[in-house]
Amino acid sequence: MENQSENLTEKVVNLAKRRGFVFAGSEIYGGFAGTYDWGPLGVALKNNVIKAWTDAMQDHTNIVFLDSSIFTSGKVWEASGHVSGFSDPLVICNSCHEKVRADHLLEGIGVTADEKLSEEAINALFDENRSKLKCPKCGANDFGQVRAKNLLATSNLGMFESDDAQVYLRGETAQGIFINYKNVLDSGFNSIPFGIAQIGKAFRNEISPRQFLFRKREFEQMEMQYFLKESEAMEAYESWKNERLNYYYKLGIKKDKLRLKPHENLVFYAKAACDIEYEYPFGWGELEGIHYRGNYDLSQHQKFSGVDMSYYDEETKERYIPHVIETSVGVDRTVFMALCDAYTEDTLGESTRIVLKLPPKLAPVICAVSPLLKNKPDLVVKAQEVFRVLKKEFGRVMWDDNGNIGKRYRRQDEIGTPWCIVIDFDTLGEEHPELKDTVTVRNRDTGNQERVAITDLISKIKENL
């Protein structure tokens, strides 16, 4: 029977480290909060997540890709409003001087503080509940006033200290799309409606990063901005909502763990917005945002840069600044979701096992190839032949001859490998000539085994993929 315990996050974190998915950043120096390093299997899983999203975007004939710079002019973030309005509510414990997010303290006592509340409003809410709040570090009930802490991460560029210029690391990938929208349009290959997609790192000076991969200071985004006429925007917004939710269904994520949640309080420029939420171990959390942003972003960049961002429609003879539908999802949050959704403890035979029931499309390893015994040269040579054929075809194939076959199965179960392929004495046809050149294929989820001809392996795996 499957067991999804209350300690699922801890179990996923332990598995991720043990099997080489994710390591704590700067771990040998005590760690560095809000940062994580991807291990070999984590890189493979992350790349599969990115490929799945890329394929979904490339299914559209009018979406192109961009890769913009991480360092950007400060004027970009002034125009977008990030310099003045991109902040978290910070409060300091007067006893131990710990810096804490005020909204997280309130959430701890069951009070919801919307992230869009003004500094004045969050202070009022904080004061109403001040007597119930305790410092998570020292337990004291002694806090100062709540202040807005800007989340933009900064760096210095220049050859000498006196010449250094403070610049911002991008807080989101969207602005790189907006400031290049005109360049893409002027290249002559696109017309309204069309989308620009981008995958890349973003940085936020989070006060209290937490919940493993869910909230980090350095993370990767997959965003798409879809430019179109205002009259077509609401219909497109509804269409993108449905498409993006169905995308997760097609990936194999449990439907009862996903939901669409409309925003109750819209930012002033937004026309409509909702989140696709996943039920993480700590509760429902944003996985992807779908936003109808109006034409605010392009209008702001036109205002601040002086560059005309309008589009002239040759057919209707209209000139207008396009409106934008945005879809934005974090790679890290998607990986965390996939690990939580797949993590299972069940009983197979007489033993309990841990298994990642990842969709084959996302699994870091599609299949593992093993000789039944690694000290039998004939088995090893035949297994290596099978391995090379499958490796050339699928890429994501692992050679595994470490330990007995039962330990190999358990190890592959833990990393989510859908199929284990074993070359045994029947493959050589020594006792059963009719089984010559067949292999044992073992299914991860059921533990069932079947004999498959080596010549049929590729088509069999493709059929199941």
Decide if pLDDT at 46 tops 50. yes
**CA torsion angle 295 301 303 307 (round to 10):** -110
The winner for highest mean pLDDT among 76-85, 167-176, 327-336 is: 327-336
CA distance 264 to 447: 46
Contact 275, 264 (CB under 8 A): no
| Cβ(115)–Cβ(107) below 8 Å | no
The answer to whether 245 and 181 have CB atoms below 8 angstroms apart is no
Q: What are phi and psi of 337, to 5 degrees?
A: -60, -45
How would residue 289 be classed by pLDDT, with cut points 50, 70 and 90?
very high
Distance between CA atoms of residues 258 and 251, nearest Å: 12
pLDDT number for residue 3: 41
Q: What is the separation of C-alpha 424 from the centre of its chain, rounded to a whole number of angstroms?
A: 40
449: Cα within 13 Å, side-chain hemisphere = 10
| Whether pLDDT at 206 is above 70 | yes
Residue 264 is given by DSSP the state S
Contact assessment for residue 217 and residue 206, using Cβ atoms and an 8 Å cutoff: yes
Other CB atoms within 10 A of residue 193 CB? 17
Tens digits of residue pLDDT in 211-242: 899 988 889 999 999 999 999 999 999 999 99
What domains lie within the chain, and their CATH numbers?
Answer: 8-74+155-340 (3.30.930.10), 89-150 (2.20.28), 365-464 (3.40.50.800)
Question: Which amino acid is residue 236, in one-letter code?
Answer: A
Give residues with Cβ within 8 angstroms of 459, minimum separation 6: none
Confidence of residue 155 (pLDDT cuts 50, 70, 90): confident
* Cis before 262? omega within 30: no
pTM of the model: 0.85
Whether the Cβ atoms of residue 445 and residue 412 lie closer than 8 Å to each other: no
pLDDT of residue 127: 87
Between 58 and 103, where is the model more confident?
58
Question: Which pLDDT belongs to residue 117?
Answer: 64
Q: Tell me the pLDDT band of 266, cut-offs 50, 70 and 90.
A: confident
Residue 105: which of 146, 74, 156 has the closest Cα? 146
The more confident residue out of 397 and 352 is: 397
**Range from 89-98, 179-188, 260-269, 426-435 that averages highest in pLDDT:** 179-188
**Residue 29 per-residue DSSP state:** G
Q: Per-residue pLDDT for 162 more than 60?
A: no
Q: What is the pLDDT of residues 324-375, one digit of tens each?
A: 999 999 999 999 999 999 999 998 877 889 999 999 999 999 999 999 999 9
